[in-house]
Structure 1
Amino acid sequence: MHPADVAPPAPHPWSARLAAECQALRGHRLPWIAVAFGTGVGLYFALPAEPGSAAAVVAALACLLLFAVAWGLRGSVGFVPLMVAVSVTGMLAAQMRTNLVAGPVLGFRYYGAVEGRVVDIDRSASGAPRLTLDRVRLDGLGPDETPRRVRVSLHDEAGAVPRPGLRVMTTAHLTAPPGPTEPGGFDFQRHAWFLKLGGIGYSRVPLLLAEPPSNGISLAVARLRAAIGNGLRERLPGQVGQVAAAITTGDRAGLSDQVTEDLRASNLAHLLAISGLHMGLLVGFVFWAVRGGLALIPSLALYHPTRAWAAAAALPFALAYLFLSGGGVATQRAFVMAVVMLGAVLLGRRALSLRSVAIAALLVLLWRPESLTGPGFQMSFAATAALVIAFGALARTDRPAWMRGWRGAVISLLLSSVVAGLATGPIAALHFNRVGQYGVLANMLAVPMMGFAVMPLLFIGLMLWPFGLEDLPFRVAGWGIEWILAVAHRVAELPGSTGHLPAPTWQVLPLLGLGLAIFGAARGNLSRGTGVVLVAVAGLIWMQGSRPDILISDDGRLVGTMGPSGRWLSREKGASFVAGVWLENDGDGADQATAAARPRPDMTETGIVLHQARSKGDVPAALQACSLDPGWVVLPVPMEPGQQTIADGCIILDVKSLSRTGAVSLSRLADGAVLFRTARQMQGERPWSMGQGD
C-alpha cells in the first residue's frame, strides 16, 4: 500500500475541540490577552519571594519560545501558548516596574532636620496638613541612604504656608512605612514602595521656607489647581465649595467628617474620586456639545466626519482635566480609557466595546502594574466592562418609543448606575468591609444630577471664568451639589443604611477577580461557566472564612481577642488606627472605646493562653503568670536577659521580636493546635518588606 493512501490519525476529541475553541475566538481575543496579562501581574505579586535576575532571564527566554510556538500553531491551538506567554510577560513587566521605582527606605527612627521640595499637599486621617517632599535632605544620611520621597504631617501650622514647588525645611520624626496591621491585611509598605515613599512621619515644628519656589510645568499646574480650588471655595461657601474643589481639582482636604461619612454610607463616595465617571462625563459633554453644534451646520454635518471631529476636540479637554485634577493614579487610568475610546471613534470603530476596555486595561497595567491590586482599577474596569456588556445586549434589541430621546437618556443614566453598582458592589465590600444597603437608590438620585448638571456647569464655569462670567453656572452647579449632599445625608440616616462584612481570606479576591474577568471575556458557555464557578467558589470561601481569635499589633501595645460579643481590645484609646482596621475587618461597626469596654474573653472561649504586659512595670507579673499557666506572653518592651528563666516554657512576643515579625495572629484549629501567623510571613521576602524593622 502506498504511504499516501494511509489516512492520517484522527485528532483526539479534546484537542480538536480546543483547536476549534481557539479558532472561534478570532476577532475576540484581545479581552483574553488582557486577562492573561493581568493574571501574570497578579501571580507576580502573589509570589512568596522576589525572583532573582537569573529567574527573570529564564522567564524571558521561555516567553520568547512560547511566542514562537504560538506563531507556529496559530492555525490550531496556538492561542494557548500565546496566553501563557502573555501571562509571563505580565510577571516580567511587574518585576521591571518594581525595580524602576526602587529607592532607599529608612531602617531606623529618624529625628532631625528634613528639607525637600513640596510636590503634593493633602490631609491625614486626623485632618492635619500633609506634605509629600522630593529632593530630600536628611542630616547624617548620604544620597544613597536618603529616601527619594518622604511624607510629613504638620501639627504646627504657624510656619510658612506650603504650596507645590516651595523648598521647605522643618524638624520631623520619620520612620519606615509600617507593615500590615494584621497578617494578610492591606500592605501599606508595598503601596508606599510604588509611591517612592521611603519615610513617613510628623512634625510639631513650624515650617520654614528654604528656597524660592521652583519653576516647571508640573509645579505651575499645581499652583493653578490650588488657585482654582480656592476660587471655587470663595464662590461656593461651605461644604458645597469643598465638594466642587474635590471633583474639579482632586483636593479633598476641606471635606468634613460628616460629609465624608454620609457619602460612604450612601455608597456615593465614588463621586469624590476623580476617575472614570468624571472623566467620562466631561469628555462626553464636550463630544456631544461639539457634535451637536456641528450638526446645526448642514454643509458640515452632511459631508464631513463630524463624529471624528468631536472626538478630536474632546481629547485636549481630557488631557487638561488630567493635569487640573492632579494626575492621580485613578485619573491617569481614566484618561487612558478616555483616550482609547476617543481613538476608537477617530478610527471609525465602536468606542464602547470590550476590545477598547481590554486595550485600556493593557495600557494601564503596562504603565503601572501595581494598580491591579488596588480597588480603583478593579472597580473601574468591572463597572466599564459591565456597562459595555449590558448596553451591548440592549443595543441588539428594539427599544420602545419611551426609551428614546431625552427619556431614553435619563433611563440610560439610571440603568448605568444600577449596572455599575451591581458590578462594583462585591469588590467594594471586599476591600472596605461595608455595604451601602441603599446604594442603588442613592446613585439613581445623585448620579443623574452629577451627569446632567454639576459636571457640565462646573466645566462651563471654568471656561467662562477668564471673562468674569462664571458666577451663574457655578451657582447652579452648587444647587446640584446641595442636592447630592442632601441625598447622601438622608440615605445615610435610613435605618440599616450601612451593612458591615468581615474581611475574607486572601484567596477570595484573586478568585473573584479572575472569575469576573473570564466571564466578561467569554464568548461561549464553557468559558462563562468557568467564570461563574470561580465567582461561586470565591463566595463560598468568603462565607466560610473566620477571623483570628487573637490579634497582636507590631509594637505589642494592642491586643484584640475575639469573644461572643465581638472583639475585645486591650486599650480604649491609643493605637486607634490599628484598632479601627481590626474592627472594620471583623465586620464590626463598634468604635475602639466600645470594644475595649466589652468583657474580656478568657481561655475557655479562645482556647489560647495569653498574658499581656501593658507597660514595663507589668512585665515581671506577666512572666510570673505565664510560668504558672504556660502560654503566650506579649511585652511592649524588649525582654531583659535575666527574665527568660522566669517564664521558662512560655512563648515570648516582645517588641523586639514583633518588630521582625510584624503584627501577629493566633487562631485555634479544630484539632486544638494554634495557628501562628505573622505579617512578614504573609508578605513574603519582597523588596518592600525585606529589611523592614530588622
Structure 2
Amino acid sequence: MRISKTLYGMVHDLVERQRGHLFSWVPVCFGTGIGVYFALKFEPETTVYALCCLVSMVALLIYMRFREGLAILCAGLAICLLGFCHMGLRSQMLAGPVLEFRYYGVVEGRVIATDRSASDRMRITLDQVRLDGVRNPPAQVRLSLEGDVPDIGARVMTTAHLMPPQGPVEPGGFDFRRHMYFLQIGASGYTNVPILHRAEGAAPWLAALRARVSDHVRSALPPRSAGVAAALVVGDRAHVSTDVLQNLRDSNLAHLLAISGLHMGLFTGVVFSLLRLVLNLIPAWRLHVPVKKIAALGALAAGFAYLLLSGAGIATERAFVMVAVMLGAVLLDRQAISLRALALAALIVLIRRPESLLSPGFQMSFAATLALVVCFAALRGWRGYWHHPAWLRWCAGLVLSSLVAGLATAPFGAAHFNTVSHYGLIANLLAVPVMGFVVAPAAVLILCLEPVGLGWIGYWIVDLGLAHILGVADWVSHWPGAKAVVVMPATHVLGILAFGGLWICLWQGRGRLGGLVPIICALWIWGQTDRPLALISQGGGLVGVLTEKGRALSRDTARGFVARNWLAHDGDSAHQAEAAGRWPAGDHARIFTAHVETTAGALKIQHVIGKTGQASLTSCSPGTVLVFSVAAGDLGDRLRAGGCTVYDPRTLRDLGSLSIDREGAVTSVRQVTGARLWSGAPPINRQARF
C-alpha cells in the first residue's frame, strides 16, 4: 500500500509540474490514437468503437471530477481513444468503389486535375467516370498520357489500361493503395492513344480559375522559371522540368516548390506588413483605429484566397491553419507564435484530415515549426542575444533557423525519401532569403500592379529571384557528394524518433533531456537495419537478391518503379541496368537463377520470365523457389507436387510482394498490412465480356 501511495504521489507531482503546458500534448495524444488505428492489421468492429467511446467518456468524467494528478492522464487516454474513433469514422466515410481487375477498354470522364508522374509523363485525374462493362466504376481514376493535355473541366474519352491501386513494393514499404484510398482514386493506368474530347463540360469554378492563372503566369515568364512560378502560385507542378526538380531535391530546396508554411507565412507576412505600413501612414487611423488587427484581418483574407487558389492541398491547408491561428492570436492580443498556437493548428489539421499524420509533409512541417518555436523561445530568454547588433542577430537567426529546421526534418526526409543532402544548409542560406525578400514581395506587387497593366515589373523581379534560386540549386546539386542515399528504417523507428523529439520540445524542466534516450535508441535500430535477402514483386515481374555488390535484379528495364524503390530502400544509388548486371548468372532461356545463403542453408531462387521461360522449364529440384511472371497453370501444379515453391501472378495477387529474410522466412505484404478497408474492397460488379 505504501509503495502504491508513493507511486501515486510521484506521478501526481510529475504531472502537476507541467501545469500550464499540458495543452501542447493534446494533438500528441490525438495523433497517437490515429497512429494506433493505422498500426492494426484488422479493421475494428463497431463494438470496438463503442467500447472506446464508453471508456473515453468515463475517463473524461474522472478528469472533470478531480482535474489533477492521474485524472490528467485519464484525459490523455480519452483523447487517444477519440483520435482512434475519429480516424475510423473518416476511413468509413471515404470508402468507395475500387477496381478489382485489370481493365482495358473505353474510359470516359471529366478532367478535374493535371499533374506529372514520377516517369515524367503528364497525368490527368477524372471524375464522373464511365467504364465499358463496369456497373459501379470508381469515383475517380488517374491516367498517364502522351501528347496534349486536355483542359480542366473537359469531358474526354480514350482507350486505356487500368489496374487496381497497387500495394507496397515490398513488405513494410510505403502503402500506395492506402494513399490512393484516402485520395478516393479507385484505379490508375495509362493510355497511348489520343484523347478525344466529348464536350467542354462545366469545370469546377475554382479549378478553372487555377488553370487560367497558371497559364497567365507561365506566359509572362521565361520557360525555365515559368513552371516554378506556377507551382508557387497555384500549386501546378506539372510544368516543372525533371532536371530542375532533381536539382532542387539534391540541394534540399525541393520544399520551396510545395506551398506550405514557408510560402503561406511569407505571403501573409508581406501582406500584413504592407497593410500595417500603409495604415500607419494615415495619422487619424494610426491614432484611433486598431491598425495591427485590421492588418491581421487583411492578411487572413489574403491567406484564405491563396489557399483556394493553390488548390487547398493538405500541405497548404495545414499551413493556412497555422497562419490563421497565429493571426487569430494577434486579434485576441495573444502571443502569435507559441507552442499553444502550434498545438491548436496541429489539432485542427488532424481533425480535418487525420490521415495526413502519416504524410511526410505533415511530419516535416510540424517538426520544423516546433523545433524553431522552442529554439527561439529559449533564445529570447538569453540576455546575451540582445547585446549584439541587429544585423548580427538577423544573420545568426537566419543560420540558426536553417540549421534547426534542417536537423528537425532530416530524419523524416531520410526515412521517407531515402536521401540526405549534405549541403542543404548552404543551399537554404543562399536561397531562402531571396524567396522571402524578393520573390514573395514581388508576388504581392504583381497583385497590386496587374489591374493597371504594370504587372510586368513584378514578373521581372520574380524572374530574377527564381533565376537565383534555380542557379543555387543547380550549382550545389553538382558538388561532389551532394546527395547520399540511406537505408529504409523499420516502421516503428520514426515513431520512436518522433516521441523523443516531442519529449525534448514539450516537456518542461530538466526531464526533457530524457527524450535523448529514445532518439539514440531509434538511430541505433536504424543503423542495424537488415535488408531482406530476396524480394519478389507483386505479379512476379521482378526478383531482387542481395549480393556482396548490392541488390541484383533479374531484369534491366521492366518494373522500373519497383526497381528504383528497392534500390533506394537498400540505400543503393545504382540504376536498374547496373543492378541487373550484378545477377550471378546470365539469361538462360529467360530463366534467371540465384542462390542465397540463409541460416537454414542455401536457397535456390529462379525467375521464369514469360512463356519462353515456361516452355524451357520441365522440372526443378525440391526446395527451389520459382517465380513466374505469367500464370503457371498446370505446370505450376506439377512443380509444387515435386516439392518446389511456386509463385505466379495469380497467387501473388492476394499475397502482394514478398520478402525472404536471412532465416529463410517468407513475409508477404498481406501479412504486414492485414485486412484493412484499403487492402481489399468488395469486388466491383463486372458484366461478362467475350
The answer, yes or no, to whether TM exceeds 0.5 is yes
Distance 1:604 1:119, change over 3 A: closer
Are 2:143 and 1:152 aligned?
A: yes
Aligned counterpart, 2:677: 687
Alignment of structure 1 residues 55-454 onto 2, 5 Å: 55-142=48-135, 145-157=136-148, 162-214=150-202, 219-398=204-383, 405=390, 408-454=393-439
Pick one of 646, 649, 655 that aligns with 2:643: 649
Aligned counterpart, 1:4: none
Q: Tell me the distance in 2 between the aligned counterparts of 1:291 and 1:380.
A: 28
Q: Which moved more, 1:355-364 or 1:609-618?
A: 609-618
Q: Tell me the distance in 2 between the aligned counterparts of 1:290 and 1:408.
A: 26
Q: Tell me the distance in 1 between the aligned counterparts of 2:311 and 2:264.
A: 13
Alignment of structure 1 residues 489-508 onto 2, 5 Å: 489-508=474-493
* Cα pair 2:126 2:140 within 8 Å, conserved: yes
Aligned counterpart, 1:589: 573
Alignment of structure 1 residues 615-694 onto 2, 5 Å: 615-619=610-614, 621-622=616-617, 624=619, 626-627=620-621, 630-647=623-640, 648-669=642-663, 674-691=664-681
Q: Tell me the distance in 2 between the aligned counterparts of 1:430 and 1:598.
A: 26
Aligned counterpart, 2:23: 30
Q: What 5-or-longer segments of structure 1 have no aligned partner?
A: 1-7
Q: Tell me the distance in 2 between the aligned counterparts of 1:60 and 1:622.
A: 58
Q: Tell me the distance in 2 between the aligned counterparts of 1:443 and 1:129.
A: 29
Q: Which moved more, 1:127-136 or 1:29-38?
A: 127-136
* Cα pair 2:146 2:192 within 8 Å, conserved: yes
Q: Tell me the distance in 2 between the aligned counterparts of 1:156 and 1:230.
A: 18
Pick one of 557, 560, 581 that aligns with 1:576: 560
Alpha-carbon shift at residue 213 of structure 1 (Å): 2.6
Question: Percent same amino acid among aligned pairs?
Answer: 44
Q: What 5-or-longer segments of structure 2 have no aligned partner?
A: 586-593, 685-690
Q: Tell me the distance in 2 between the aligned counterparts of 1:620 and 1:172.
A: 31
Count of residue correspondences: 672
Q: Tell me the distance in 1 between the aligned counterparts of 2:618 and 2:543.
A: 17
Are 2:42 and 1:49 aligned?
A: yes
Are 2:535 and 1:547 aligned?
A: no
Q: Tell me the distance in 2 between the aligned counterparts of 1:410 and 1:236.
A: 32
* Cα pair 2:159 2:193 within 8 Å, conserved: yes
Deviation track 1:533-563 (CA, whole Å, cap 9, x = no partner) reads: 2222211110111111101111111111111
Q: Which moved more, 1:376-385 or 1:12-21?
A: 12-21
Distance 1:393 1:693, change over 3 A: same
Distance 1:53 1:456, change over 3 A: same
Distance 1:529 1:391, change over 3 A: closer
Paired residue secondary structure (2:95): coil
* Cα pair 1:35 1:518 within 8 Å, conserved: no
Q: Tell me the distance in 1 between the aligned counterparts of 2:187 and 2:534.
A: 30
Q: Tell me the distance in 1 between the aligned counterparts of 2:18 and 2:74.
A: 14
Aligned counterpart, 1:611: 606
Alpha-carbon shift at residue 11 of structure 1 (Å): 7.7
Aligned amino acid, residue 344 of structure 1: A
* Cα pair 1:623 1:633 within 8 Å, conserved: no
Distance 1:440 1:9, change over 3 A: closer
Distance 1:303 1:403, change over 3 A: farther
Aligned amino acid, residue 616 of structure 1: K
Aligned amino acid, residue 565 of structure 2: V
Paired residue secondary structure (1:494): coil
Alpha-carbon shift at residue 532 of structure 1 (Å): 2.0
- Give the TM-score taking structure 1 as reference length: 0.93
Paired residue secondary structure (2:125): strand
Alpha-carbon shift at residue 10 of structure 1 (Å): 10
Alignment of structure 1 residues 555-566 onto 2, 5 Å: 555-566=539-550
* Cα pair 2:101 2:164 within 8 Å, conserved: yes
Paired residue secondary structure (1:645): helix
Aligned amino acid, residue 169 of structure 1: M
- Give the TM-score taking structure 2 as reference length: 0.94
| RMSD (Å), alpha carbons | 2.1
Q: Tell me the distance in 2 between the aligned counterparts of 1:129 and 1:257.
A: 12
Alpha-carbon shift at residue 616 of structure 1 (Å): 2.1
